[in-house]
Chain A
Amino acid sequence: MAVADFGGTVLGKKIEIVSADHQNKADIAASKTREWVDQDGVTVIFGGTNSGTALATAKVAAEKKRIYINNGAGTSALTNEQCSPYTIHYTYDTIALANGSAKGMMDKGLKTWYFLTADYAFGYALEKDATNVINASGGKVLGTSKHPLNASDFSSYLLQAQNSKAQVLGLANAGGDTINSVKAANEFGITKTMKIAGLLVFITDVHAIGIKNAQGLLATEAWYWDQSDQSRKFAGRFMEKMKRMPSMVQAGNYSSTMTYLNAVKAAGTDDSDKVMAQMRKTKINDMFTKNGYIRKDGTMVHDMYLFEVKTPSEVKSPWDYYKLVSTLSGEKAFTIPPDSKCALLNK
């Protein structure tokens, strides 16, 4: 990657960015984090997609007392069983997805489910959190097929799902796996007898699947490029550079970087404890969210949105994919304190 040149100082200090590809391997994420802190003096770690790598990074960051801000990993364990005073889970989590998309399907009167679940921390968390919502709403899970991360063939899993006679094919997977399962479900005619519930659908997935096969899917999102003047402005700038619209994760990266740098400036130091305290006491109002706040367990509590993917005839321009179904307030979307096992939250 080339050396880029941008303006950036805080407290008169230079701001540097180092980046790495964890290749979806938790051991690479952990060793890279350790190396960055011990050898490179990294002040803060931003982690992206993949719950396995996120939990590994969060653990090292906590041990090293470095702030870890995640945008992209789903698992609600980051702020629950494995919460840390140095972790912030910023964009969304599997609880919010369950309260959005799983509840949204139940509200359509679709009660029986079969899960296709990515076989690692994220898939388990999403299936568990969705199952709780399904059971609480009077639904039933008839079965589950676990598939490896980045699966190449979904046909046998889809056959098992169809044989279950469930009404809903619940996808507890993400990214390339969601794209390929939706494509395969359409190809094999599964969609004639089952409704697909992608529990984590990103706008980039909709774009890759194509509007014909993606129409009608529900998507629980923290942010959509076409939701406000501020979001459209950011999206336009991003589009110019990347030639695609930003996902909620990419928008979360922007927002959380600003949140961190503003806190360093306000605290007058990059000391982790002081910056965390500063971030916790400052409401987040920007292109990403309104009145968001960082709770003691590390959850950035903010409104979430349940969207439905438009039909082809409703799409008026490129990336015009969503219509709003409902808004979930942050307090209802994320883990409610009585349900949390995080000691930081309830002490």
Chain B
Amino acid sequence: MKRTLISLAVAALAAVSGGVGAADQAPVKIGFITDMSGLYADIDGQGGLEAIKMAVADFGGTVLGTPTLMVRGD
């Protein structure tokens, strides 16, 4: 819950500061595509996404640690 609040606060800050941004402000964006619902979903699927999220969290948590990662699915 605390993390959600921080995240919202950061999102609000980003909104206030305009989000104009030079090219180098573009996020590092990871696309993850796999079988999320079929016969291979247990091998990878949501668990595979979770593992990527864990890595990003661990990386950020130990390096710069600004809680701003967004995860979007479709």
B52: chain A residues within 8 A (beta carbon): 17, 46, 253-254, 257
A5/B4 in contact, CB under 8 A: yes
User: Chain A CB within 10 Å — which of B7, B43, B49 has the most?
Assistant: B43
B18: chain A residues within 8 A (beta carbon): none
B25/A13 in contact, CB under 8 A: yes
Write the A1-28 contact mask toward B (1 if CB under 8 angstroms, else 0): 1111111111111111111111110000
Contact size class for A? Answer: 35 or more
A253/B48 in contact, CB under 8 A: yes
> Given that A5-B3, A5-B69, A7-B65 are contacting pairs, would A16 and B29 also be in contact in the complex, using a CB cutoff of 8 Å?
yes
Write the A87-104 contact mask toward B (1 if CB under 8 angstroms, else 0): 000000000000000000
> Given that A14-B69, A250-B48 are contacting pairs, would A23 and B37 also be in contact in the complex, using a CB cutoff of 8 Å?
yes
A8 to B54, CA, bound (A): 10
A247 to B35, CA, bound (A): 14
A262 to B56, CA, bound (A): 10
Q: Is the C-beta of B13 less than 8 angstroms from some C-beta in chain A? A: no
B46: chain A residues within 8 A (beta carbon): 242
Write the B11-32 contact mask toward A (1 if CB under 8 angstroms, else 0): 0000000000000111111111
A3: chain B residues within 8 A (beta carbon): 70-72
A17/B35 in contact, CB under 8 A: no
A12 to B66, CA, bound (A): 9
Select the stretch in A75-83, A174-182, A302-310 that faces chain B.
A174-182
B33/A14 in contact, CB under 8 A: no
B73/A42 in contact, CB under 8 A: no
Chief secondary structure at chain A's binding surface? mixed
A residues 247-289 in Cβ contact with B at 8 Å: 247, 249-251, 253-255, 257-258, 260-262, 264-265, 270
A44 to B63, CA, bound (A): 20
A36/B38 in contact, CB under 8 A: no
8 Å CB contact of B53 from A17, A23, A41: A17
B31/A270 in contact, CB under 8 A: no
> Given that A5-B69, A44-B30 are contacting pairs, would A72 and B44 also be in contact in the complex, using a CB cutoff of 8 Å?
yes
A2: chain B residues within 8 A (beta carbon): 71
User: Chain A CB within 10 Å — which of B3, B4, B6, B42 has the most?
Assistant: B42
8 Å CB contact of B30 from A15, A174, A265: A15
A258 to B27, CA, bound (A): 16
Chief secondary structure at chain B's binding surface? mixed
A41 to B27, CA, bound (A): 9
A237: chain B residues within 8 A (beta carbon): 54
Q: Is the C-beta of A244 less than 8 angstroms from some C-beta in chain B? A: yes
A57: chain B residues within 8 A (beta carbon): 33
Select the stretch in A47-55, A108-116, A331-339 that faces chain B.
A47-55
A238/B58 in contact, CB under 8 A: no
Closest to B23 in A: A41
- Smallest CB separation, B40 vs chain A (Å): 4
A254 to B51, CA, bound (A): 5
B69: chain A residues within 8 A (beta carbon): 4-8, 14-17
> Given that A1-B71, A264-B28 are contacting pairs, would A15 and B56 also be in contact in the complex, using a CB cutoff of 8 Å?
yes
Q: Is the C-beta of A105 less than 8 angstroms from some C-beta in chain B? A: no
Give B contacts to A, CB under 8 Å. 3-4, 6-7, 24-61, 63-74
Q: A14-B28, A17-B31, A18-B74 are in contact. List 20 more A-B contacts (CB 8 A).
A: A1-B73, A13-B25, A13-B27, A14-B66, A16-B27, A16-B69, A18-B29, A19-B49, A21-B36, A41-B29, A46-B33, A46-B52, A49-B35, A175-B41, A204-B43, A241-B54, A246-B47, A253-B52, A257-B55, A257-B59
| Complex A-B: 19 CB contacts under 8 Å | A5-B3, A10-B64, A13-B27, A13-B28, A15-B30, A16-B28, A16-B69, A17-B56, A24-B35, A42-B31, A48-B34, A48-B45, A48-B48, A50-B34, A50-B35, A71-B44, A202-B42, A204-B42, A255-B55
